[in-house]
Amino acid sequence: GENVGLHLPTLSVQEGDNSIINCAYSNSASDYFIWYKQESGKGPQFIIDIRSNMDKRQGQRVTVLLNKTVKHLSLQIAATQPGDSAVYFCAEGVTGSWGKLQFGAGTQVVVTP
Amino acid sequence: DGGITQSPKYLFRKEGQNVTLSCEQNLNHDAMYWYRQDPGQGLRLIYYSQIVNDFQKGDIAEGYSVSREKKESFPLTVTSAQKNPTAFYLCASYGAYGYTFGSGTRLTVV
């Protein structure tokens, strides 16, 4: 499944399939980017981050891709599991800006059996 | 375990009342932040603090106040001047290994 946009859309994906969540960031000066997962009623949990001198970074079952030319970020989740159901946010930051982050609106991922 | 503790988890406020949300961290982080989250929206920065006794306004500071008297503590007061305070409030801190978020306080005006 794939979804685009900063509003809170819903991405439905079948268990075992790969998920792709997209994010368009706004600040050309942003030099680091973070993906968070948020379950209902809880605080965001760090998933993976990437700095602007990279275009790809891999973690456990997750890959983040960065395209600075079009200011686009994506999170790929391999073999999506029921526990992956949550809202996913991208956040952008600028080194030296006191650690402040700008967040996208998020994407709701629903994993169906 | 090190982390951030927010309390209470749920808070109800009457019109015209001030309420204070607690945020405590034992991560020895210098920087702390308060974010507000509304349904279907991302997090928006209210206030942040880089060191004790210093703090700066974020994007939506009107109607809120903070203090940073201790490194471990960064309480947020929602004043009666905040016209639409019903939201989910998240505290975060930042250190050598990145950001850590608390579990949030859900504030409802009744």
Q: What is the pLDDT of residues A19-40, one digit of tens each?
A: 999 999 989 999 999 999 999 8
A16-47 burial: b if 16+ Cβ within 10 Å, else e: eeebbbbbebeeeebbbbbbbbbeeeebbeeb
Write the pLDDT tens digit of every residue in B14-55.
988 999 999 999 999 999 999 999 987 889 999 999 999 999
User: Inter-chain contact A100–B104, Cβ cutoff 8 Å?
Assistant: no
What is the pLDDT, as a whole number, of residue A16?
A: 97
Whether residue B77 has pLDDT greater than 70: yes
Q: Quick one: pLDDT at residue B1?
A: 56
Q: Each residue of B43-52: b (16+ CB within 10 Å) or e?
A: bbbbbbbeee
Report the residue from B50, B102, B103 with minimal CB separation from A98: B50
Cβ contact (<8 Å) for B31 and A101? Answer: no
Tell me the shortest Cα–Cα distance from B44 to chain A, in angstroms: 7
**Buried b or exposed e, range A80-113, using 16+ CB within 10 angstroms:** beeebbbbbbbbbbbeeeebbbbbbbbbbbebee
Tokens of B8: 């209470």
Give the CA radius of gyration of chain B.
13
Is the pLDDT at A4 greater than 90, yes or no? no
Q: Flag whether pLDDT at A112 surpasses 90.
A: yes
* Chain A stretch 72-111, residues whose beta carbon is closer than 8 A to a beta carbon of chain B: 89, 91, 98-101, 103-106
* Residue A8 to residue B40, Cβ atoms within 8 A: yes
Contact B49, B70 (CB under 8 A): no
Tell me which residue of A24, A1, A20, A34 sits closest to B101, measured CA to CA. A34
Please state whether A106 falls in left (phi above 0), alpha (psi between -120 and 50) or beta.
left
* Chain B touched by A45 (CB under 8 Å): yes
The B-side interface with A (CB below 8 A) comprises 4, 6, 31, 33, 35, 40-45, 48, 50, 56, 58, 90, 92, 94, 98-99, 101-104, 106
Residue pLDDT, tens place only, B53-71 = 999 999 999 999 999 999 9
Q: What band does A5 get if pLDDT is binned at 50, 70 and 90? A: very low
Tens digit of each residue's pLDDT (9 = 90 or more) over A55-91: 999 999 999 999 999 999 999 999 999 999 999 999 9
